[in-house]
Amino acid sequence: MPKTKISLAYDLETAYESAQEFASNHYENFPVLSVTLPREVKKHIAVVYQFARQADDLADEGDVNPELRIKNLELYEKQLTDCLSGKFIIDFWMALKNTINECNLTTQYFYDLLSAFKQDVLIKRYSNYEDLSDYCRRSANPVGRLVLEICGVRNEEAFRYSDSICTALQLTNFYQDVSVDWQKGRIYIPQIEMEKFGVSEKIFEEKQNNANFKSLLKFQIERTRELFAEGRKLLPFLPGSLLVQIRMTILGGEKILEKIEESDYNVIMQRPKLSKIDYLKIFGKGLLTNAR
């Protein structure tokens, strides 16, 4: 029995190390794991990030037909359910279950994420902003709430401000990835708003960065900036180590919006991306206590 315990502890530690390596090796507009976070917090955030990224990849990556993507996501969901009941096919699920138990995480958030990833496979257009917001509610907001729970923040007002940040980050990613998503047959700009600004899908086919599209994207960015501004009200609720992380997260998203503007909104032709210098500046600003 003691031998099994030692083996389990070793595998658990290895799983967390693997999760942190996984998080470090994936590009995001914000630092997934900040150096300011305590070691125990880092490992829990890393395994939650790995769960979400792996599911997202099942919905998005590779040359796989939609039926198989849904089947793979359903299998992933079954593995989650098995994990919650103490059945693990690999050490990753054991680490996730350990994190859920130690941090008393709301398990519905994991299922919400999976429902959004399934939706990605099946739905390629959004009629209005409300429908898109509902997608963000399940595709992005659960991650922010899970991070807060991991760090011991359980306040409904804080959750709402976190939702504003996460929705803003998701929308920012949509504008950043306009060309990438078009190649996958997706448009994450509401159809009603495209019509309002006189933008048809032909613009993506012909790669036209015309005045109508610039006005449409300007409108989207201004609305997203308002969400980031609302989300900054979360900062006073946060412990010091997480405060720096979330501040850098907001700054990263806002920097992408700035880069889109600097490119004259030409996201159809090029995908804006943060450079190493951008990351260093964001890190420096993130450490400033007056950068709320």
Neighbours of 250 (CB within 10 A): 24
Q: Where are the domains of the chain?
A: 2-287
Structure tokens at 92: 């990753």
* Cα–Cα distance measured from residue 266 to residue 272, given in angstroms and rounded to the nearest whole number: 9
**With contact defined as beta carbons under 8 Å apart, do 153 and 103 qualify?**
no
5-14 in b/e form (b: 16+ CB < 10 A) is eeeeeeebee
Helix-, strand-, coil-residue percentages of the chain, each rounded to 5: 75, 0, 25
Low-confidence ranges of the chain (pLDDT < 50): 1-7, 290-292
**Predicted TM-score of the model (pTM):** 0.90
* Cα–Cα distance measured from residue 292 to residue 290, given in angstroms and rounded to the nearest whole number: 6
Neighbours of 78 (CB within 10 A): 11
**With contact defined as beta carbons under 8 Å apart, do 29 and 166 qualify?**
no
Query: Would you state the pLDDT for residue 84?
Result: 97
Structure tokens at 84: 């919650």
Helices 39-60 and 108-122 pack at an angle, to 10 degrees, of 30
Query: Would you state the pLDDT for residue 290?
Result: 45
* Cα–Cα distance measured from residue 259 to residue 256, given in angstroms and rounded to the nearest whole number: 5
Compute CA distances 226 → 140, 167, 262, whole Å. 17, 11, 19
* Superfamily grouping for domain 2-287: Farnesyl Diphosphate Synthase (1.10.600.10)
Query: Would you state the pLDDT for residue 292?
Result: 42
Cβ within 8 Å of residue 127, ≥6 positions away: 190, 191, 192
DSSP three-state, residue 292: coil
Query: Would you state the pLDDT for residue 1?
Result: 38
